[in-house]
Amino acid sequence: MDGAFILAHVPDYLSGAWVTLRFGLYGVACSLLLGLLCCLLRYFRVPVLRQIAGGYIELARNTPLLVQLFFLYAGLPRVGIKFSAEACAVIGLTFLGGAYMAEAFRSGIESVDKTQVEAGACIGLTMGQNIRYVIFPQALATAIPALFANVIFLIKETSVFSVLAMMDLMNVADTLRTSGGRTVEVLFMLMVTYLLILLPVSVLATLVERRLRYTGFGN
């Protein structure tokens, strides 16, 4: 391997990593909000919106992100709706991630005993207070592993941003590879950079999960 080549291109990878990380995190944050919203719509059985949420979740989970992005980036402009590449990236990732996050939140909420909800009601809490103080903290504890898995999954999925001509990690590597031909070095650095981004997230997930286990609820 060519060490000098690697060193010379570290700045390229850093800027690619910055794009990946930044838009990945925007997407993750929006996914969490959208997922929570969908989950609540279904939990409260809000008419119509609940069905819309259900349909959306199936659609998003059963189509590839690549196809979703093409639709946003190449399809919608044909009917006069045009977003920038960055906007498409965040919208696309949110569209996909929202569905997965909704399912993670749902598994959490469903794990909270019905008697807990009744106990909250019996001390005169409003439904909103009950959700906030009784149900949500317990649901979150259960949902945490799935939520973290989704975060990692979504950040990895950002590798398809390159089709939007964004200079994310994947595109940086692609460009270098097609111009310079040092395939081994280029791909090696690509893997290492993804690893450096995602490993801390994994470690954090493990720490949080372990902590939850220790302070574990268990009645």
Residues found near another protein in the complex (CB under 8 A): 113, 115-116, 118-127, 129, 133-134, 137-138, 141, 215-219
Q: Give the nearer residue to another protein in terms of CB position, either 7 or 123.
A: 123
Minimal distance, residue 214 CB to another protein, in Å: 11
Minimal distance, residue 6 CB to another protein, in Å: 48
Nearest Cα to Cα of residue 197 among 29, 24, 33: 24
Residue 217: what residue type?
F
Q: Give the nearer residue to another protein in terms of CB position, either 62 or 215.
A: 215
Q: Give the nearer residue to another protein in terms of CB position, either 110 or 118.
A: 118
Between the CA atoms of 37, 57, 31 and 197, what dihedral angle is there, to the nearest 10 degrees?
A: 150
Distance CA(131)–CA(124), nearest Å, equals 13
Task: Report CA Rg, the chain.
Answer: 21
CA atoms within 13 A on the CB side of 24: 25
Minimal distance, residue 121 CB to another protein, in Å: 6
Q: Give the nearer residue to another protein in terms of CB position, either 147 or 155.
A: 147
Q: Give the nearer residue to another protein in terms of CB position, either 82 or 210.
A: 210
Residue 98: what residue type?
G
Q: Give the nearer residue to another protein in terms of CB position, either 51 or 126.
A: 126
Contacts 24+ apart (CB under 8 A), 184-190: 184/1, 185/1, 185/2, 185/5, 185/6, 186/9, 188/1, 188/6, 189/6, 189/9, 189/13, 190/13
By the 8 A CB rule, do 10 and 190 touch?
Answer: no
Minimal distance, residue 133 CB to another protein, in Å: 6
Minimal distance, residue 33 CB to another protein, in Å: 23
Minimal distance, residue 132 CB to another protein, in Å: 9
